């Protein structure tokens, strides 16, 4: 089994590299930029991350994290358990209610063709982000999102909090700020960012 992770850690590829580092499994790393030649060779849209497993190209960071954690039996509750249903609920919520807003801001800021960008969206996206973050903070158990066990949505949430900081989106309250500090202090995260 060989893993090749494609995508610079300045993108959502950071989530994949981070999980590989947490799992401690060997992998090759190609820091391809979005829409670069290497990324376009892997998939038609040239989006990253991509994980190539024994020649099979896997796309989408969340799907890749789900595959890796199921495969290695760590950082996830077992498929079919109620805990897993709760975990997947958090994953969906973070993608919809945090990442979706950040990604919309990026698309309308610098990704879409200029004539398709709507700069006026930004205050609304930030307002919604802050509201959603406050709601999520009310459900945060600690030290990880669901309690003692670190799972896939913890990496997604920590990644989105870092993204929000870089995009000048509203900062989280004290609980989530402390969580973000703990997550980014993890050796696996530090190794990821040193890539």
Ligand X SMILES: N[C@@H](CCC(=O)N[C@@H](CS)C(=O)NCC(=O)O)C(=O)O
What does the binding site for ligand X look like in residue numbers (CB under 6 A)? 11-12, 34-35, 45, 47-49, 60-62, 111
Cβ-closest residue to ligand X?
34
Smallest distance, Å, CB 11 to ligand X?
4
Smallest distance, Å, CB 186 to ligand X?
21
Closer residue to ligand X (CB): 94 or 150: 94
Smallest distance, Å, CB 34 to ligand X?
3
Smallest distance, Å, CB 138 to ligand X?
26
Q: Other CB atoms closer than 10 Å to residue 76's CB: what's the count?
A: 23
Closer residue to ligand X (CB): 95 or 178: 95
Closer residue to ligand X (CB): 49 or 153: 49
Q: What is the DSSP string of 8-75?
A: -TTTTHHHHHHHHHHHT---EEE-PPTTSHHHHHHSTT--S-EEEETTEEEE-HHHHHHHHHHHHT-S
Smallest distance, Å, CB 4 to ligand X?
15
Closer residue to ligand X (CB): 12 or 180: 12
Question: Which helix (H) or strand (E) segment is 5 a member of?
Answer: strand 3-6
Residue ranges of E strands in 140-187: none
Measured torsion, CA atoms of residues 123, 129, 134, 137, in degrees rounded to the nearest 10 = -160
Nearest-CA neighbor of 72 among 22, 29, 9?
Answer: 22
Closer residue to ligand X (CB): 111 or 188: 111
């Amino acid at each position: 089994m060989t893993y090749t992770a494609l995508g610079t850690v300045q993108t959502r590829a950071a989530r994949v590299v981070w999980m590989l580092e947490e799992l401690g499994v060997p992998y090759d790393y190609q820091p391809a930029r979005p829409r670069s030649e290497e990324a376009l060779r892997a998939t038609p849209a040239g989006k990253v991350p991509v994980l190539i497993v024994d020649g099979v190209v896997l796309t989408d960071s969340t799907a890749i994290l789900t595959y890796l954690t199921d495969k290695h039996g760590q950082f996830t509750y077992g498929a079919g358990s109620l805990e897993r249903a709760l975990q997947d609920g958090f994953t969906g919520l973070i993608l919809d209610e945090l990442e979706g807003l950040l990604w919309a801001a990026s698309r309308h800021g610098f990704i879409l063709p200029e004539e398709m960008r709507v700069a006026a969206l930004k205050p609304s996206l930030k307002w919604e982000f802050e509201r959603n973050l406050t709601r999520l903070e009310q459900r945060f158990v600690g030290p990880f999102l669901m309690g003692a066990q670190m799972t896939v949505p913890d990496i997604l949430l920590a990644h989105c909090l870092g993204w929000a900081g870089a995009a000048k989106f509203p900062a989280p309250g004290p609980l989530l700020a402390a969580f973000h500090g703990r997550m980014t202090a993890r050796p696996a995260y530090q190794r990821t960012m040193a890539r």
